[in-house]
Structure 1
Amino acid sequence: MNTAGKVIKCKAAVLWGLKQPFSIEDVEVAPPKAHEIRLKILATGICHTDDNAVTGNLYTPFPVILGHEATGIVESIGEGVTTVKPGDKVIPLSISHCGKCSSCINTNGNFCMEMLLNTDQGVRSDGTTRFTCKGKPVYHFLKFSSFTEYTVTSEFLVTKIDAAAPPEKVCLIGCAFSTGYGAALNAAKVTPGSTCAVFGLGGIGLSVIMGCKAAGASRIIGIDINPRKFERAMAAGATECINPKDYTKPISEVLKDMTDNSVGYTFEAIGHHETMVDALASCHPSHGISVIIGILPSSKMLTYDPMLLLTGRTWKGCFLGGWKLKDDFPKLVSDFMAKKFDLDQLITHVLPINKINEGFDLLNNGECIRTILTF
């Protein structure tokens, strides 16, 4: 049945309010307008960023359809769309790529200035949403939303990928994998033979480990208070794993003793104030590089001793791995298809969309690395 130009009724996981469970609802998805596309979602991952919206650590208006790490098929296109066509397999992009701003034209940055100029208020560029449920408008998340069978976004917020790519795997390139893998390769620029320490062994932390391994690091130390994650971390490339709770002294001192003060690179993949400062203190005082990947609640401010930087350390942030998403995500998919890395190492659970609350329980109880939802 041809659905182009028509309202589509489908199932979606709607979050009606702060800290509430998701509710599987029948929603109406309007046709795309100019320079918009409507996607059929094939698979989507559950990310801590989504949970931050559930808990209020990341602002979003309600009711909302969350989700942003996904793979989909273009169902229909709006007027003026030229970059994709119906039937194309795509990965949605969590940040835009206007190709014109000071970030997009610079080889060293990927955070498009359009993201700063157009804050995410849950609506499309015309100030309205494309979702309706029970007669009420439902908001978009990160200008997209993937916890739904169909969604609408801008043609400039997707990139076409290999049609043969398995959606339940390459959806991770949309956030977790690209974020961690790129933090090692693009932000830190890990060197062969170096020693790395990764704080947090979730999907992003394991992706950092995979990036460090690909870069030729000789020693990769995984750090987490949940020892159930150690086996997965070792399979991803960690050479050893430690639990800070097993020690009485600061983790920076533990790492110094373990490595004869040779940790060249540290990565914070949790989003906690204390571990961000711990990661900084753990890298070499004269030439170490520490990369922040985790997201703090917007109300939190970092406090640290500036002497940690004065002696020569570099402290930097990294958003979505530093990749130029529109151009680099298809290349990462091609690398996956060429077996240059294994995304199965990140996937612990695959659930249908109607079990989304079970997926969030797995996340919050530390019982998964990544849960994939299918439709």
Structure 2
Amino acid sequence: METVVQEQNAPKSKMTVADIAAIAQVSAPTVSKVINGRSGVSDATRERILTILKEHNYVSPVSPSSRKTGIIELLISHPHTAWADEILVGTLAGLEGSGYTPAVSSCPPVEWSFDPWIDAAVQHGASGAMICLANIPPASIERLRKAGIKVMLVDPTGVVPQDVSMIGSSDYQGANDATRHLVQLGHKRIAFLKGPDDWRTCRARFNGYRSMMEEAGLPIDPDLVTGSVYYYEDGYECGQRLFAMPDPPTAVFASSDMQAAGLYQAAQEAGLTIPDDVSIIGFDDLPYVQFLSPRLTTVHHAIQDMARLGARSLVKMINGNESLTRIDLLTHLEVRGSTAPPKR
């Protein structure tokens, strides 16, 4: 299946087809043929019109009734990560044989304007949009809907309106199970590496950790709750601080496998052996964790399944066979070699 990678456009032009035609010194129907990819225009004229369209950031209006183009806009936050790779693989599997092709864009994990991306989606005549690990404002969702574009959120970071389709996971339960595993091994000083505080998934994972600690009657040392982003560097820096404490934790539960990988490096540099000196648990079960030694105990987060189910449900919505999907896929703990009873 072909994947189209697009660049974000400049702000939408207010020029009309007639305006473009006047500049190019051709008729409006000729401009229309170029915009819609039809034949009957010489190569030189087509190239001149395309250049003018680009210079003026022209965005062609597309009516909802003509929306069935076979394009699904796929917006992925945190590109160039193993998580994003899993999303793409799952999406392609979900769209296999559907007749739809993903147009892939990425957005930064910070505050970002969705307007240029929505303009591009409208210009492409997209049938649907799947937004992954991003906090898209309700107003932007409404813009997509008014343009006749069906919307699916996958692993959303923000609050999701009740009438918007989404595929998530049982983050709270996964974190609760991971903390329970450490408690049952006999750990009492259990550190927690969190992600961004404004993410719904991060709050759910912290709440799962906190709930199990309270259930076990174990105090939560504020100094053991640290971290800010789901990256290797964050795990490494947090590990350096935690392992240098006078009374370091005997176990660390990281909110992501990337943070856990950073903890491995920090533990090695501190002269600690995993799991003899410190137990480590991650969250996601990304493919690369098989290369960590010892193999990482982690919460399996069905990222590919989320994307695959999201894509299939979105196609059903586009085809009128489904109206609303709201699913949290179950997580489960994969116990491997990075956890053991504490020595002290």
TM-score by length of 2: 0.38
Q: Which is higher, the Rg of structure 1 or of structure 2?
A: 2
Query: Counting strand residues as a fraction of each chain, which structure ranks higher?
Result: 1
